[in-house]
Amino acid sequence: MIEEKYRFAAEYMVTTTEIVHKTGLMVVAMRDRYAKLLMPLGPNTNHLGMMYAGSLYCLGEVSGAAIFVVAFDVTKYVPIVKEASIRYRAPALTDVTVEMSVTEERVASMERELQEKGKTDFVMDLELKDAAGTVVSLFRGTWQFRKMSPGFELKQNPR
């Protein structure tokens, strides 16, 4: 379930970049400091009938935006991805989901760094799972959350 206050951000996240929208990526759940995303097999099926490696990567990459949205003030800060890696463990033959959460303490500590330095790094390890709960991929991303520049505007409203 997506909490009402996160509905706009959840929609924005999966529609604002055309190619992400075309993967069919969905936000399954969002509440304070927790999110769950789903990548459907459909348009992401490769020539072997399994989920394309790049789509699995995108599921991990967008998770940085998802955790940012449920933990930080989206009108003050902006997330960017610095680097990421993914390890493919098993073929994904179903839709794939990922869950993520962050503690209040960690958010508070990052908020302090944002106030002091204007930026903070965030490393997150994720398990991407198929419908049976098998971990198909391991993802590690490093994002930077930054104070938004004055006059900064997002490209467009979500569809």
Residues lying near its own copies in the complex (CB under 8 A) are found at 12, 16-20, 22-23, 43-49, 52-55, 57-58, 61-62, 80-88, 154-156
- Select from 145, 75, 142, 59 the least CA-distant residue to 107: 145
Contact 130, 136 (CB under 8 A): yes
Pick the closer one to its own copies by CB: 87 or 105. Answer: 87
Contact 33, 107 (CB under 8 A): yes
Using DSSP bridges, classify how beta strands 96-101 and 77-88 pair: parallel, antiparallel or unpaired.
unpaired
Q: How far is the CB of 16 from its own copies (least distance, A)?
A: 4
Contact 90, 134 (CB under 8 A): yes
Q: What DSSP designation does 125 have?
A: E
Q: Structure tokens of 42?
A: 């459909």
Q: How far is the CB of 79 from its own copies (least distance, A)?
A: 11
Q: How far is the CB of 83 from its own copies (least distance, A)?
A: 4
Q: How far is the CB of 41 from its own copies (least distance, A)?
A: 11
| Strand (E) or helix (H) holding 111 | helix 104-117
Pick the closer one to its own copies by CB: 18 or 116. Answer: 18
Pick the closer one to its own copies by CB: 28 or 81. Answer: 81
Pick the closer one to its own copies by CB: 31 or 146. Answer: 146
